[in-house]
Amino acid sequence: MATPLYQTVIDTIIARIASGDLPSGAMLPSETQLGSDLGVSQGTARKALMDLEKRGLVQRAQGRGTFVTVRTPETSLFNFFRLRRPDGTLTAPRLVTEEVTRRPATAEETATLHGAPEEVIQIHRVRSVDGRKATYEVSCLPPSLYPGIMERAPLTNALYVLYQQAYSIIITRADERLRAVAAPPEVARALEIPEGAPVMRMRREAVDVLDRVVELRTCHLLNEGMDYFVSLS
């Protein structure tokens, strides 16, 4: 089955964004230029840009051109951090403690993460919301995609922004599974709640623009005065 022409244009642009050749905020060539560069019609170039815009990878500014979407701590937080106060307002989590280590991967991590790594970089963080320790997070990364990340610690509060700016890794989707569980001892200790108290366990696979699983995260979330908000349609 032949790949449609506009899909080839999409793949080419995504590859240039992912390689860092078109960094966050960069202006893309015009439809005419893109068409002539890639040997396709202007209409095909336009269709590709419209698709990329729908996926949130680029943004078109009327009369100014098309730009690679800039992911800021704010947009990243808004899309991927779902805890809200009961009235729906968002409050940013603050970093309380962080430990970055390298350790052997579990069988599940090897099976799921891009490149089937034998070892992972583990980022263990506790964050607070509204002055109360509220999240216990363990993020695991395949080391080959994040060279030198251990030396960068302490890391920025918004990890996805760091992934994009330092490694051109653009998270476009997070698949989450949630479950109510009794707080395990280490979580209870860290969040200063009784062992066995109900907490929400969230497991997330973060997928990047090249459809690779580039991070596995397990969080335990304390729901005292906070809900996990989601809209289905």
Judged by beta carbon, residue 178 or residue 210, the one nearer a copy of itself is 178
Judged by beta carbon, residue 78 or residue 94, the one nearer a copy of itself is 78
Residue 50's Cβ-count burial label (10 Å; 0-12, 13-18, 19+) is middle
Hey, how many other C-beta atoms are within 10 angstroms of the C-beta on 95?
Answer: 13
How far apart are the two ends of the chain, measured CA to CA in Å?
32
User: Binding segment for a copy of itself among 21-29, 145-153, 161-169, 194-202 (CB under 8 A)?
Assistant: 194-202
Report the alpha-carbon distance of residue 22 to residue 205 in Å, rounded.
25
Question: Can residue 92 be called a binding residue for a copy of itself (CB under 8 A)?
Answer: no
Question: Can residue 193 be called a binding residue for a copy of itself (CB under 8 A)?
Answer: no
Question: Can residue 232 be called a binding residue for a copy of itself (CB under 8 A)?
Answer: yes
User: Binding segment for a copy of itself among 62-70, 114-122, 143-151, 223-231 (CB under 8 A)?
Assistant: 223-231
Report the alpha-carbon distance of residue 34 to residue 190 in Å, rounded.
53
- Here's the x/- map for a copy of itself, 159-188, by CB under 8 A: it reads as -------------xxxxxxxxxxx------
Residue 20 Cβ vs a copy of itself, minimum distance, rounded to whole Å = 22
Report the alpha-carbon distance of residue 115 to residue 11 in Å, rounded.
20
Report the alpha-carbon distance of residue 33 to residue 204 in Å, rounded.
39
Question: Can residue 107 be called a binding residue for a copy of itself (CB under 8 A)?
Answer: no
DSSP state of 154: S
Of residues 6 through 65, those in contact with a copy of itself by CB under 8 A are: 56
Residue 128 Cβ vs a copy of itself, minimum distance, rounded to whole Å = 18
Residue 104's Cβ-count burial label (10 Å; 0-12, 13-18, 19+) is exposed
Residue 220 Cβ vs a copy of itself, minimum distance, rounded to whole Å = 9
For residue 117, give the amino acid letter.
P
What residue ranges bind a copy of itself (CB under 8 A)? 56, 79-80, 82, 84, 86, 172-182, 197-200, 203, 221, 223, 226-233
